[in-house]
Amino acid sequence: MANGVFQVRRKFHIVDGVYKGSDIGALQTHDENRHRRRNLMAAELPLGGFNIPYGTGLYYTDIGIGTPAVKYYVQLDTGSKAFWVNGISCKQCPHESDILRKLTFYDPRSSVSSKEVKCDDTICTSRPPCNMTLRCPYITGYADGGLTMGILFTDLLHYHQLYGNGQTQPTSTSVTFG
């Protein structure tokens, strides 16, 4: 298994011992919700790094998905190692993230490497089981009342691979997500 590198940034910065970007109540609420969701995530992508957070913080990184690669900013839940992107068909999804970044919506028609996961694919664990000729749906609920649902796709994830000499090189791998 190869190591990958993502540039990880903090949402809330500490300047002279004080968080900048939000009040402490918002930080605590975010952290409590993150811990509640920790064990409820359906998909994971391992993430490593050397950034040591001091206190509560929201991290994000940019990745590429598809062929050609499209850039996405994804928030990283350090309690669960999970992230997701919004699909182009989502009508009620926000167009801007909590970190005031414009969100890119995944459009499978824009990627020649995109494949719908079908119900008869072994990776589809839809409950109740879906019709074998249809697309594989997913739904994940969180303790804070949040919900994510949609159709699973497989596409290429573009990132930087870390080598023993500390150098990185662009690479990609197939990933299934919703």
Of 124, 136, 138, 142, the residue nearest 30 (C-alpha): 142
Structure confidence at residue 143 (pLDDT): 72
pLDDT at 51: 42
Q: What 3-state class would DSSP assign to 29?
A: helix
Cα separation, 146 vs 96, in Å, equals 17
28 in helix, strand or coil? helix
Q: How many CB atoms lie within 10 A of CB 48?
A: 11
CA angle 50, 55, 58 (to 5 degrees): 70
CATH number, domain of 46, equals 2.40.70.10
Count the domains in the chain: 1
What does the pLDDT look like over 55-64, one tens digit per residue?
445 567 788 9
Is the whole-model pTM more than 0.85? Answer: no
* Tens digit of pLDDT at every position of the chain (178 positions): 455 555 555 555 555 555 555 555 666 666 666 555 443 333 333 343 334 444 445 567 788 999 999 998 776 665 555 667 888 988 888 888 766 678 899 999 999 999 999 988 888 887 666 776 688 888 877 777 777 788 889 999 998 887 777 777 888 989 888 7
Cβ neighbour number for residue 175 with a 10 Å cutoff: 15
Residue 46: give the domain boundaries.
3-177
- pLDDT for res 116: 92
H and E: helices and strands count for the chain: 1, 11
